[in-house]
Structure 1
Amino acid sequence: VGTYIVEYDYIAKSSDELTIRKGDLITDAVPAEDGWLKGDCRGTFGHFPENFVTVS
């Protein structure tokens, strides 16, 4: 379980993904599919691309 800071905006393409904005903090993140993590951002839990974030 980790905390990440968003480095690039990402617009969700499906209902299980998060829309994230540069500077957002994602908590409770865990590995998901290859290249993806899942975690909580602003009270919403979902998937986001690993290469759009850095470890906090």
Structure 2
Amino acid sequence: MGLDIEAMPHIDQANIACGFHAGDPLWMTTTLALAAQYGVEVDTHPACPDLVVVA
């Protein structure tokens, strides 16, 4: 949902959004694989599922 592919070669650490406010399980998996490819250390950025609409 951002510029992960462009940024990853230039960083050494990343917080991966995993609360569904900025991604989904497929995108998180893709981002983690990309981080592994470039040797980027990762941590989690948990959050509430704020894309859920409450009526």
TM-score bracket for this pair, using the shorter chain length:
under 0.3
Q: Which has the higher strand share?
A: 1
| Bigger radius of gyration | 2
**TM-score w.r.t. length of structure 2:** 0.28
- Comparing both chains, which one has the higher relative contact order based on Cα–Cα distances under 8 Å and sequence gaps of 6 or more? 2
Q: Which has the higher helix share?
A: 2
**TM-score w.r.t. length of structure 1:** 0.27
